[in-house]
A = this chain, B = another copy of it.
């Protein structure tokens, strides 16, 4: 008789955002008249920019005629998109990344779940705590995390690096040496960042101990401060120790279009095997390319009009972030993030647990956020709000919270 992958049964409960959605649905069913404002899941609300819409229509028309129809995309991405990324996201920032080191995918969630596959089954992972759940859960499913301790909320083989107000959200190098280090800056969920010197320290550390940094830069478009790196390849030595994951979801509103990419520099070599060739093989065997029309949409993000339109869209979300931040501070909350990030991270008031505060906010202000504990044990006592709503909704949410 066949057997299942027992690691799945080790996962406690549901995926965080599914649990949030279920709670909100139940509240809505019980309170059909409540006007709920969702500042929970990090989904965007502004429409796709005109340059992207135009590229989509144009490429859809290409698919309507045999002469211009495109079937299977190259597994690793169309050159027009890989070149645009190399030029705009890397060369323009002085980063030495070639177009063929860029692997186009259907999104950073897929890539951040899949990247662990190319590493050994007993690799030790280190994550910031709190953390985006996909990093840990995908490794649990692969059997790397040991056992879950419900009392501490920790996995026995995961190396946790707490990032809390106590260390100003700057993780310390871990006591045990990890093989893979997941870093996400600007951070999800805390909205905080590392400056360039601090990130350089991590690159040096990884090169020193022989670890790979899996650097999630999905939120780089929200950076406003000059000394915050947009890419890990701004740091010296990153080509030999870092893989970078990028997304079109937050910088260009592609959450419903699905597009991302992963950078695997050819200098990442383990005992003669280039990780670049492993990831290429993984893509070639288990992925069939992102849709042509979506890759054309991605290319349009880098056009002159696209860049201008995107800047305006991001500025709107940044305005929300600044407004929410100030509104929470005015209401007496302790607030982090929101300066280089669309995420606000606040301390729950009066010693409430983060799920207690979730229920309290939902019931009394009809505002949905995300409980910090859902991101890891050190997220307990914190709560995440996002700036991805409309300005009107952000304003109304703050008005309601200030009235509590």
Residues of A within 8 A of B (CB): 1-6, 8-9, 11, 14-15, 18, 41, 43-48, 50, 53, 56-57, 60-61, 63-66, 69-73, 75, 106-107, 109-110, 113-114, 117-123, 133-134, 137-138, 141, 143, 179-180, 209-212, 253, 255-258, 270-271, 273, 275, 278, 281-282, 284-294, 390
Contact = CB atoms under 8 A, between A and B. Distances in A.
B4 A286 contact: no
Contacts of A66: 45-47, 390
Given A3-B119, A5-B119, 15 more contacts: A1-B179, A3-B120, A3-B123, A3-B179, A4-B120, A4-B278, A5-B121, A18-B75, A45-B69, A53-B61, A109-B286, A117-B141, A256-B291, A258-B290, A293-B293
Contact of A286 (B60, B70, B113, B118): B113
A301 to B, nearest CB: 14
Q: How many copies does the complex hold?
A: 2
Contacts of A291: 256-258, 291, 294
A69 B56 contact: no
Contacts of A122: 3
Given A256-B291, A291-B256, A4 B60 contact: no
Given A281-B15, A284-B18, A47 B69 contact: yes
Nearest to A210: B1
Which of A46, A73, A109 has its CB near the most chain B CB atoms (within 10 A)? A109
A286 B140 CA distance: 12
21 contacts: A2-B212, A3-B123, A4-B120, A5-B121, A5-B278, A8-B282, A43-B71, A45-B66, A46-B66, A47-B63, A48-B63, A57-B60, A63-B256, A66-B390, A113-B285, A134-B285, A141-B286, A255-B288, A257-B291, A257-B293, A258-B288
